[in-house]
Amino acid sequence: MYSCIFIFWFLQINKFFSTVTYNISTCYYKISEDFHHEGDVVIGVFFPLHTFYTGKRMPHPTIPYQYLDYYIQYNFKNYQYILALLFAIEEINGNHNLLPNISLGFDFYNVRFIEKETLMNAVIWLTAHSQTNILPNYNCKKRNLTAALTGTSWITSAQIGTLLHLFKFPQITFGPYDPLFSDRGQYSSLYQMALKDTSLSLAIVSLIAHFKWSWVGLILPDDQKGNKILSDFREEMERKGICIAFVKMIPATWTSSFVKFWENMDETKVIIIYGDTDSLEGVMRNIGQRLLTWIVWVMNTENHITDRTDYFMLDSFHGSLMFKHNYRENLEFTKFIQTVNPNKYPEDIYLPKLWYFFFKCSFSDINCHVLNNCQTNASLDVLPRHIFDVAMSEESTSIYNGVYAVAHSLHEMRLQQLQMQPYENGKGMVFFPWQLNIFLKNIEIREKRSLDWRQTINTEYDIFNLWNLPKGLGLKVKIGSFSANAPQGQQLSLSEHMIQWPETFSEIPRSVCSESCEPGFRKVTLEGKAICCYKCTPCADNEISNETDVDQCLKCPESHYANTEKNNCFQKSVSFLAYDDPLGMALASITLCLSAITVFIIGIFVKHRDTPIVKANNRALSYMLLITLTFCFLCSLNFIGQPNTVTCILQQTTFAVAFTMALATVLAKAITVVLAFKVSFPGKIVRWLMLSRGPNYIIPICTLIQLLICGIWMTTSPPFIDQDAHFEYGHIIILCNKGSAVAFHSVLGYLCFLALGSYTMAFLSRNLPDTFNESKFLSFSMLVFFCVWVTFLPVYHSTKGKVMVALEVFAILASSTSLLAFIFGPKCYIILLRPEKNAFSHIKKKTSSRRKNFPNI
């Protein structure tokens, strides 16, 4: 495909640009810029075909063509406007049902963009005088002037319109729609053929948003239209979150010396160009010369400037996107162009110039309108499309419709005249141009487009992609459309696979101020910068972003957690101090081992219940303490496993009651020892306490007090199942909440109070002279017990989750083990390993020696 395109491009260059080496004929400058096409009713036509530049010297006839471009520029594509005018007039003149016996003609005047010359041309046409002899308000020739057709620049139309407004002379413009001309007070007889561009800004911005281009430049004319469209673009872009990288305003007097205009042009890869062909002429030429092939141009008009000395294969506008109003293609016009030649229209002064440039013709030495040595079968339809396009353009369609509007208005006026004066039809048509305004305001032309300024606001646009690689291909391929009347989300229709991007890009270009923030990050705007310029920062803990370029991260629910990439929330797994957990398994194993050891010690004491060491240490209290310690060990199992309401209540109640009974038993043992050895002369009360085993009543009394505290706790604010979703990442820890913290600490405080009392009693009897006195062991076990729970409180409050539960289990096991080890460890040692010390003979021997040493005992 590309090889075929290259061959085509090479042949076109050879065929059409070989004339560059020829010398320019003097006929090129002798031929007038203006010409006349005969007709009974004449339309004045004003638009540019030549663009002139001022130099230090006028061009010489023998100067090569490449140096001539400094002084003159021929707008080849604008010549289609002349052909559209001819095509419409020939159709009308050949239609016997429209303006019978009356022919249309036109006077063409080239516009040079100089206000004085523009107005001069208009006055010359109105008065039929020469430029050197003008008499205002006087027409030296009897001509039926009907209307003026102006374009393509709104400035030209405004200049001529100001003059024609004085005479109420009908004026039809075919350039882009301008709200300024809707002022009926200033332009009472001006009618615009172009559709409104009210939805153009929405269409362009929708395309920009579709390709996710957020950093876009603007090039606009520095006039009222440019300022209006700039306001529209800003509004639409703000709604779509698109930022303007820069705004370049094209001055009315453009020169290539505006160096600052091209500064910062490389900041973006997408630039919107808006304006008419005349206001953009200088900018378009400079863009073509600079070969800006890394920019996607989004335009409302195509480039009409072609530099014939340009041999570059690349083109700045290749891959551009262009918006045009949706018009029905006119195939008859294409056929008409194929028949156009200088012989068919000898009055047309521009056809000889075209044939001279592109078909190797030469001007006759006798008559500059006669051509010699032309190529056979020369036709405009073989010219490259970037030079001359045979498809009817939007402006040509407006010209075509404008001529028909005049014809229909004249026809209606003619019918009205015949009804009023039926016998004067042979005199031709006599009217004043201002009379045409009545008919122009109400008539509807082909395409059903109203001439009135109250036109349809929302219109449809076709979107074209310019294929111009190699340069000269000049294809405009329709790749989509935009309809503002379509439902939201269906307004833009694109065939992206058909788009050819500029040579720099192999895929859809990216035009952003800052690279997108990937999922897991959020945007942070930079101070003093546009909202599209930002930096990316990771989402905070337990927050995610699963889309690009988010402003705020989303917080995961309490039941979920963010993954390490912070782009998704996952369900947290339920966690608790389970039996299959290594920590829970270890604690449960220790608990069972210690419980088994306690049961084993109970068996030892039961087996050796009649030995002195068991009898001497209050056998009943020892049994009770061992059984209570077994429950103390086993109550820690309530803390392991998945909590529920029952286990939460049993955790604290069984722990509190079991430890209260254990400490109360130790306290009873300590008091018994004190009563037995500390009182030298026991009274009746002491003797009654000893005989009736009064200290044993301490156990139920202390237990009842603890039960009362627990009862109040369970009634007012009992423990309940709680969740800790923050301590362990990715897990929800289920644990028992203590409920009332005051009640929990009251239980612990009461236990510590009992431990302190037991320690005091045991400490008082630590040096009593008894063979099996256990006061020292009681005091030491209470000291360890007290230290364990005093240390437990601050550590407990500084931990959370499963560790907090494990810590409480450890405290229970440690404190219970201290009681078991220090109270019953020495006794088991004597019973099992030193049985000789557990005999009555040994006790008597120890007692005799002690009496010798202590005769008072």
Q: What is the pLDDT of residue 33?
A: 76
What is the longest distance spanned by two Cα atoms in the chain? 174
Q: Judge residue 320's burial from the number of C-beta atoms within 10 Å of its C-beta, 0-12 exposed, 13-18 middle, 19 or more buried.
A: buried
More confident residue, 135 or 479: 479
pLDDT of 82 strictly over 90? yes
Question: Is the alpha carbon torsion for 32, 34, 37, 42 positive or negative?
Answer: negative
Q: Average pLDDT for residues 530-539, to the nearest whole number?
A: 90
* For the ranges 614-628, 635-649, 683-697, 796-810, the one whose mean pLDDT is highest: 635-649
CA–CA distance, 529 with 533 (Å, rounded to integer): 6
The two structure tokens encoding residue 273: 């160009």
Structural contact between residues 517 and 549, judged by C-beta atoms closer than 8 angstroms:
yes
pLDDT of 620 strictly over 50? yes
Q: Which residue has the tokens 């579709």?
A: 210
More confident residue, 582 or 72: 582
Q: Which residue has the tokens 């091209």?
A: 262
Q: Judge residue 666's burial from the number of C-beta atoms within 10 Å of its C-beta, 0-12 exposed, 13-18 middle, 19 or more buried.
A: buried
Q: Which of 49-53, 275-279, 486-490 has the lowest mean pLDDT?
A: 49-53
Q: Which residues contact 127 (CB under 8 A, 6 or more apart)?
A: 134, 135, 136, 137, 138, 139, 140
Structural contact between residues 591 and 585, judged by C-beta atoms closer than 8 angstroms:
no
Question: Is the alpha carbon torsion for 36, 39, 42, 48 positive or negative?
Answer: negative
Q: Average pLDDT for residues 101-128, to the nearest whole number?
A: 84
For the chain, domains (ranges, CATH) are 1-31+341-378 (no CATH), 37-196+327-339+393-448 (3.40.50.2300), 521-571 (no CATH), 591-853 (1.20.1070)
DSSP β-ladder status, 215-221 and 190-192: unpaired
Phi, psi of 638 (to 5 degrees): -65, -25
- Residue ranges in 100-223 assigned as alpha helix (H): 115-127, 154-165, 200-210
CA angle, residues 289, 271, 249, in degrees to nearest 5 = 80
pLDDT of 580 strictly over 60? yes
Q: Which residues contact 157 (CB under 8 A, 6 or more apart)?
A: 150, 151, 171, 173, 175, 178, 181, 190
Per residue in 482-505, pLDDT (tens digit) is 998 888 889 999 999 999 999 888
Pick from 395, 163, 106: nearest CA to 278: 395
Q: Judge residue 717's burial from the number of C-beta atoms within 10 Å of its C-beta, 0-12 exposed, 13-18 middle, 19 or more buried.
A: middle
Per residue in 281-337, pLDDT (tens digit) is 788 888 887 888 889 999 988 876 655 445 567 788 889 999 988 777 888 999 999
Structural contact between residues 327 and 397, judged by C-beta atoms closer than 8 angstroms:
yes
82 three-class SS: helix
pLDDT of 21 strictly over 90? no
Structural contact between residues 325 and 333, judged by C-beta atoms closer than 8 angstroms:
no
Rg (CA), the chain: 54
Q: What is the pLDDT of residue 321?
A: 95
Share of the chain above pLDDT 70, in %: 81
More confident residue, 38 or 131: 38
Amino acid at 460: E
What is the helix (H) or strand (E) element at residue 621, kind and residue range? helix 619-635
Among left, alpha and beta (phi > 0; psi -120 to 50; other), residue 419 is alpha
Per residue in 550-570, pLDDT (tens digit) is 889 999 888 888 888 898 999
CA–CA distance, 796 with 791 (Å, rounded to integer): 9
Per residue in 622-663, pLDDT (tens digit) is 888 899 999 999 998 988 888 888 888 888 888 889 989 988
CA–CA distance, 279 with 179 (Å, rounded to integer): 17
> Could you tell me how far CA 706 lies from the centroid of its own chain?
65
CA–CA distance, 675 with 689 (Å, rounded to integer): 9
What is the helix (H) or strand (E) element at residue 28, kind and residue range? helix 27-30
CA–CA distance, 318 with 315 (Å, rounded to integer): 6
Pick from 180, 128, 131, 188: nearest CA to 153: 180
pLDDT of 678 strictly over 70? no
